[in-house]
Amino acid sequence: MAPTAANLFTPEEFSSFKESLRGVKDLVDSGIRELPRFYIGSDSRMRVQSSVLPPGGEVPIVDLRELDGSDRGRIVEAVARASEEWGFFQVINHGVEAATIHEMVEVAKEFFAMPVEDRMEIFSADLFKRTRFGTSHNPSRETSLEWKDYLRHPCLPLEESMQSWPTKPASYRRVASDYCRGVKGLADKLLEVLSESLGLERRYLGSVFGSERLQEMFCNYYPPCPNPELTIGIGEHSDVGGITLLLQNEVEGLEVCKDGHWYSIKPVKDAFVVNLGDQLQILSNGRFKSVEHRAKVSSDKLRISIPTFYQPSRGARIRPIPELLDEEHPPAYKEVTFQDYLADFFKHKLQGKRCLDSYKIL
Ligand SMILES: O=C(O)CCC(=O)C(=O)O
Ligand SMILES: [Fe+2]
């Protein structure tokens, strides 16, 4: 029988469950038949309601094949429209080798196929530890958990970051370093396109991001879930940083909110899903949208997503770009450094756009 009511547990029971937890993959491997009550979404952001079919439209797909040729103007325009209307788009013919992408998904699968003890060697619940295996988003602050495990690590500077990466599976460092180089190349190209989409000089956003810009990646693992309708893989949130480039396997689950409706993003083979984070909403003075999204889980399919977060330097001054302001467009956000914004964000559980809203000039 399916579990019915949430929060049928005491704080002590929740704490002791969290202390013994080695991730959702481990729960599944232990043979659980129903969703542990600690995963039953305790508020509407943490579970998926039966959804009504949205009115129409789809997250745009942008073909980058002719980016350096005659098609640049059309691509810049398509990216501008997608960034203003959806805050999301998918890119194809993006220049990251298909073999690099496939190997990355495979090595992520291998990481989670290892005995749990191997993952636990790098387990940490400390949100500020940059290389670690973890589960849910911020268990110490959450009132219910997310059905998700992940490997997280920094990617820049590459050589230095690699020293902290897992040594198991044996091919991890080689495969992920190729992948990080490829994604960085694409992210830099996209920053140029986004600058032009705002009517700015090509290198504008790159110089705001600065020479110590951050790149980090997650391998998210959402195993099949008993009672997927009662929980969530990742709750509603907008991304905190600059741009996110997400690779996913062929399993649907990512949904984006537009005009109050949730739209599913259909996986396109070898494509990246690109979305803009809070820093770009501030920099563009609200022209680009950092849109809420979430990931559902499935009863019978394993979903893997590999987002790369491409971020400004910690000390970067984030404020509406002066060239975009005039009397009709006064600054809509207060200035903040990226590191202060991050510190604020990670103090809380995921709560939609709470953090961004707190920097609004009312
Ligand atoms: O797994 C997904 O599709 C979404 C992941 C995500 O939104 C995130 O990690 O910020
Ligand atoms: Fe996200």
For residue 27, pLDDT beyond 50? yes
Is 226 in contact with 36 (CB distance < 8 Å)? no
Cis omega (within 30 of 0) for bond into 169: yes
Pocket of ligand 1 contains residue 311 by CB under 6 Å: no
Q: What is the pLDDT averaged over residues 189-200?
A: 98
How far apart (Å, rounded) are the C-alpha atoms in residues 143 and 231?
12
Distance (angstroms) between ligand 2 centre and the Cα of 237 equals 6
For residue 1, pLDDT beyond 50? no
Pocket of ligand 1 contains residue 240 by CB under 6 Å: no
For residue 7, pLDDT beyond 70? no
Q: What is the pLDDT of residues 316-348, one digit of tens each?
A: 999 999 999 999 999 999 999 999 999 998 877
Pocket of ligand 1 contains residue 255 by CB under 6 Å: no
170: Cβ contacts below 8 Å, ≥ 6 apart: none
- The ligand 1 atom nearest the CA atom of 239: 10
Q: What is the pLDDT of residues 245-294, one digit of tens each?
A: 999 999 999 999 999 999 999 999 999 999 999 999 999 999 999 999 99
Distance (angstroms) between ligand 1 centre and the Cα of 238 equals 10
**Residue 141 banded pLDDT, cuts 50, 70, 90:** confident
For residue 128, pLDDT beyond 90? no
The mean of the pLDDT values for the chain is: 94
Distance (angstroms) between ligand 1 centre and the Cα of 329 equals 32
Residue spans of alpha helices (H) in the chain: 11-20, 24-29, 72-85, 98-113, 116-120, 158-162, 172-197, 204-209, 278-283, 338-346, 354-357
Structural element, H or E, at residue 92: strand 88-92
Query: Above pLDDT 70, what percent of the chain?
Result: 95
- From residue 327, alpha-carbon distances to 323, 330, 333 in Å are 12, 6, 15
How far apart (Å, rounded) are the C-alpha atoms in residues 322 and 335?
12
Lowest mean pLDDT across 38-47, 225-234, 315-324, 336-345: 38-47
Predicted confidence at residue 43, as pLDDT, reads 72
Distance (angstroms) between ligand 2 centre and the Cα of 307 equals 8
Pocket of ligand 1 contains residue 161 by CB under 6 Å: no
| Total length of the chain | 362
Residue ranges of domains in the chain, CATH in brackets:
11-357 (2.60.120.330)
Q: What is the pLDDT averaged over residues 210-217?
A: 97
Please state at what angle helix 172-197 crosses helix 72-85, rounded to 10 degrees: 90
How far apart (Å, rounded) are the C-alpha atoms in residues 303 and 161?
26
Predicted confidence at residue 349, as pLDDT, reads 66
Residue indicated by tokens 């509407």 = 44
